[in-house]
């Protein structure tokens, strides 16, 4: 089997949510696996001198808000822009990595549930309590996860993942790497599919 696809994302990225709803299905058609890597855009933006699209300037903010919803309609994916945006996602990212260390499939279900909680149900996933509720709804032991979220080891692991992402060139979300080739944005999905189908172009 060919090398896995690396999918870097922040839960606070609408375009990452859209790509998350399609990337696994697309990869499976070409017998590829996807490694999901939650990161923190705040740290990436600080290192690169960038900022969220909706905070850069009024024109770009207005366009971005319209395009989030339009892109979702185009892709046939439910979307409601969160009332709190952008927002911190440390608790969700740490939860993913803790779950992934035990059960990869469960971690993937959690990631989908967290994305949908934010972009469909308008739940505040910056709140650890909300994140714990989402995980508990999937059968995760709430108290064990709550304890893990405060552990220095899990905090250090997330920092390591963010550092590693920047080392391979990740500067935003979503960012996909296939065979060493980087693709930025949900709108690169057709290029990603052609790359998988042809082995590169």
pLDDT of residue 1: 64
Q: How far apart are CA 176 and CA 182, in angstroms?
A: 6
**pLDDT grade for 90, boundaries at 50, 70 and 90:** very high
pLDDT of residue 85: 95
Supply 37's token pair: 């890597």
pLDDT of residue 54: 87
User: Where in the sequence is the domain holding 185, given as residue range(s)?
Assistant: 5-198
- What is the strand order of the sheet 34-38 is part of? 34-38, 5-9, 175-178, 181-184
Contact 172, 50 (CB under 8 A): yes
| 3-state per-residue secondary structure call for the chain | CCCCEEEEECCCCHHHHHHHCCHHHHHHHCCCCEEEEECCHHHHHHHHCCCCHHHCCHHHHHHHHHHHHHHHHHHCCCCCCCCCCCCCCHHHHHHHHHHHCCCHHHHHHHHHHHHHHHHCCCCCCCCHHHHHHHHHCCCCCHHHHHHHHCCHHHHHHHHHHHHHHHHCCCCCCCEEEECCEEEECHHHHHHHHHHHHHCCC
pLDDT at 53 over 90: no
Average pLDDT value over all residues in the chain: 96
Instruction: Indicate the pTM of the whole model.
Output: 0.95
Q: How far apart are CA 144 and CA 57, in angstroms?
A: 42
Average pLDDT over every residue of 100-117: 98
**Total number of domains in the chain:** 1
Contact 130, 118 (CB under 8 A): no
Among 33, 23, 25, 29, CA closest to 2: 33
pLDDT of residue 59: 96
pLDDT at 40 over 90: yes
Average pLDDT over every residue of 144-159: 98
pLDDT at 86 over 80: yes
Query: Residue 179 sits in a domain of what CATH number?
Result: 3.40.30.10
Among 7, 6, 9, CA closest to 38: 9
């Amino acid at each position: 089997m060919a090398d896995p696809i690396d999918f870097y994302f922040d839960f606070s990225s609408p375009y990452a949510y859209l790509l998350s709803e399609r990337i696994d299905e697309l990869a499976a058609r070409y017998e590829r696996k996807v490694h999901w890597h939650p990161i923190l855009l705040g740290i990436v933006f600080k290192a690169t001198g960038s900022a969220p699209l909706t905070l850069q300037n009024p024109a770009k903010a207005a366009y971005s808000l319209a395009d989030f919803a339009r892109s979702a309609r185009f892709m046939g994916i439910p979307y409601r822009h969160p009332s709190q945006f952008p927002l911190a996602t440390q608790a969700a990212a740490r939860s993913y990595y803790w779950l992934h260390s035990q059960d990869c499939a469960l971690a993937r279900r959690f990631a989908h549930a967290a994305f949908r909680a934010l972009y469909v149900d308008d739940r505040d996933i910056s709140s650890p309590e909300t994140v714990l509720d989402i995980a508990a709804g999937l059968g995760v032991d709430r108290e064990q996860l709550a304890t893990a979220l405060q552990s220095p080891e899990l905090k250090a692991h997330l920092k390591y993942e963010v550092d590693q992402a920047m080392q391979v060139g990740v500067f935003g979300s979503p960012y996909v790497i296939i065979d060493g080739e980087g693709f930025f944005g949900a709108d690169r999905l057709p290029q990603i599919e052609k790359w998988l189908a042809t082995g590169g172009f």
